[in-house]
Each structure stands twice: as C-alpha cells, then as structure tokens.
Amino acid sequence: MSKGINYSKWDHIEVSDDEDDTHPNIDTPSLFRWRHEARVKRMEELAKEKSDFEAEWKQVTSQIDEAQRQADAGDSAAASRLAQLKDRLSKLEAHRQELAKKEKSQPLNIDTICKEGKTRTIINKAAAQPPKPRTDEETWKNLEEFKQKYDKEIKKFGMFSKFDDAQQFLEEHPHLVCEAACDRLVLWCVDLAVEEKASLLEYVTKQCICLQFLLKLGAELGTDPRNCLRQFYARLRDPQPEYMRAFEEELAAFRQRVQDRAKARLEDAMREYEEEQRQARLGPGGLDPVEVFDSLPDSLKACFESKDIALLQKTLAEMPIDEARYHMKRCVDSGMWVPDASSKKLLEGDEAGAEAAGESEEEAEGEAARLTIRYQFKAALIM
C-alpha cells in the first residue's frame, strides 16, 4: 500500500501577527514586532551556519584532492594528512545531517511557506498605428506605376496552366505576391472578357484566384504570404475535398463577376458612343433631328422622305397654323429645315405674309436647295 501525503509540516506555522488573543497588560504591536525580530534573527543564524559549513566542506574536499595527488606521488606525509582529512570529512557529513534535521524542524513562516516557481515580466508595447487609408487617386497611381514596371511579368504569370510552373515563377519573382499584382490581373481579366478571348481568360482567372487565396492564407497565419508559397501550392496539388470545392466555387463566382463587369463596360461604351453621335447630330437649336423626325405626323414625314417642297408647303397649309408653326420650329432647331421667307413668316406668326411668300417661292425652283434633310444619322443608328 502506497504512503499517503504527509501534511505534518503544516501543523506548525509561525506567523508573528496572527494572534488576536493576547494578555491585556501586553502591548500587542510590540509583541508582534518582537516575535518578528526573533524569527528573522533565528533565520539569519541558521543561514550563517549553513554558509560556514559549505565553505568548510569545500575547503576540506579541496585539501583531500591535493593530498591524494601527493600520496599517489609517493609522499608519506601526505598519506598521513589524507587520513586526517577524511576523518574530518566524516565529521562534517554528520554535521550536514544535523543541519538538515535542524532546518526541517523549523516551523514554516511567511518567508519559507512557499517558493517562487517562475516569474515573467511583460512589457506592453505601444499599439501600432493603423496605416492611413489611401485615396482612390493614390491607389490608382500606385497601380499604374506597378503596371508600368511589372506588367510583362504579371501577364506571363497569368498565362501559366500548371501549379508547379506558377510556384517556381513566384519564387523567382516574389515581388509579384502582393495586392497590386492581383488587382492588375483582375483588370486584365475584364479586358479579355471584353475582347472575348475565352481560352486565355480561363488561365488568367485561375491564376488570379490562386494569388488571392495565397494572400488570404498569409493574412490568416499572420505572416508574409511569400513564406506560404510551398505550403499553399502543396495544398493545391493534394487538396482536401472541402478546400478544393471552396476554390472551384470562388473561381466560378469570380469568372461570373468578370463577365458581368465586361458586359457593364460594353454597355457604358455603347451609351457614350450614342451620346457622342447624338451631340454631333444636334441642330442649331439643340434638338436631335432623329428624335424630331420620329415625332412628326406621317404626312410631314412623307414630305421629308420624298424631299418634295411643294408637298411640304401643301401639307403645312392644310394643318392648323399653331401645329404647323410648332413642327416647323422644331425642324429648324434640329437643322432638318433651313428657313426661307415663307417659313420665317410662318414662324413669326404672319399667316397672310406666309401665303404671299409661298406663292412667290413656287416660281423659284432653285430654292429647293434650301431644304436640308439629314437622315444619314438615323440610318447609321439603325445599322
């Protein structure tokens, strides 16, 4: 049967100020102070006795070693002195046991009841200031500088199809393991989607996602992502099913985002082109001739399509004056019609003068050149 734990050492604990019951004729603080001084004195005496014993033990053992060497060399006096020293050492050994027994019998106190196991000092460092966020202009400027310096290397990396080739290239060009290179690959992917280069787009999108996952791994481990190159590509070559599924899902989602962005870019470009064409078509009054023509009544449309001035004058004469004035003003503002004397009278509201001017205009066949119709813009848009 194994021995139990010995708790006897806790039976006698000496604390100088833990007694509340003292004699009324005794000054309690003085009693506590005297007990404390007596305990400290006893401890100092025991420590001095141990120190003296250690010094004597060291001296005797050193002398025994010296005497032993001399005795081995044939010195008879050394042999006699060696016997005396060994007898003295045996007495010191007995004294050692007495000291150990005396030290063990001492009651525990505040200085000996426990010992410090280990200590550690922690000095808090000043919190690192978060980096100042860069403006969009600064970000774009840095990206342009990075592109001008490393664009050829980035495109070469984007065209790799094998993980081993990509890993070796990044190990030889570690400066490409950064956000700027990843952003440049994203922009290149959108350009390829706009140009409909599907086969090359598959390679570049895959390398872009690889670089994004590598940067994410470095952030998760709290280290430079360049230190994770071998670990990352080893994971890709022998992937866990869940990790590979997440990789493929992110790759598919990224390719869809690239296609959506390319579509939006094409739509923006088309709108800009149409607006430029519209601005180029605007007449002197700021109206679009295509929009004005579409708003004309069918009878007026037929006049402009046939370029028949007589039919136009007849049609205007048959229309209410306000309606005729409204449509002719829009035709002038859009540049579809260069006003003659009759049109000017009509636009100014002089109906009688407009009829007289119209009769005189019928005699001048050369005035047909005043009619300006610009339907080529409309045809260009339809095509």
The string of pLDDT tens digits covering residues 31-72 is 777 777 887 888 888 888 888 888 888 888 888 888 888 888
- Sign, CA dihedral 248-250-255-260, equals positive
Q: How many Cβ atoms sit within 10 Å of the Cβ of residue 316?
A: 22
DSSP 309-341: HHHHHHHHHHS-HHHHHHHHHHHHHHTSB---H
Indicate if the pLDDT at residue 263 is higher than 70.
yes
**Residue closest to 220 by CA, chosen among 243, 186, 245:** 243
109 with 18: CB under 8 angstroms?
no
Q: Distance between CA 374 and CA 137 in Å, rounded?
A: 43
Q: Distance between CA 204 and CA 214 in Å, rounded?
A: 15
pLDDT tens profile 270-279: 888 887 877 7
**Residue closest to 103 by CA, chosen among 9, 35, 34:** 9
**Residue closest to 351 by CA, chosen among 379, 312, 320:** 320
* Mean pLDDT, range 238-256, rounded to an integer: 88
- The pLDDT, as a whole number, for residue 83 is 82
Q: Determine whether 46 is exposed, middle or buried from the number of CB atoms within 10 Å of its CB (0-12, 13-18, 19+).
A: middle
Confidence label for 256 from pLDDT (cuts 50, 70 and 90): very high
Rg (CA), the chain: 53
Confidence label for 364 from pLDDT (cuts 50, 70 and 90): very low
- Match 């409909």 to its residue by tokens: 196
- The pLDDT, as a whole number, for residue 14 is 65
For the record, the structure tokens of 67 come out as 């005497």
Q: Distance between CA 340 and CA 371 in Å, rounded?
A: 9
Least confident span in 50-64, 77-91, 211-225: 77-91
For the record, the structure tokens of 166 come out as 């990509």
- Match 């003296």 to its residue by tokens: 52
Helix%, strand%, coil% for the chain, nearest 5: 75, 0, 25
Enumerate the H helices of the chain as residue ranges: 28-72, 76-105, 136-158, 163-172, 179-194, 198-221, 229-237, 241-281, 289-295, 298-306, 309-318, 321-334, 341-348, 351-362, 376-382
167 with 233: CB under 8 angstroms?
yes
Indicate if the pLDDT at residue 342 is higher than 50.
yes
Please give the single-letter amino acid code of residue 234. Answer: A
* Mean pLDDT, range 219-248, rounded to an integer: 86
* Mean pLDDT, range 121-125, rounded to an integer: 77
Least confident span in 24-33, 126-135, 310-319: 126-135
Percent of the chain having pLDDT more than 70? 77
Please give the single-letter amino acid code of residue 320. Answer: P
pTM (two decimals)? 0.48
67 with 81: CB under 8 angstroms?
yes
- The pLDDT, as a whole number, for residue 372 is 38
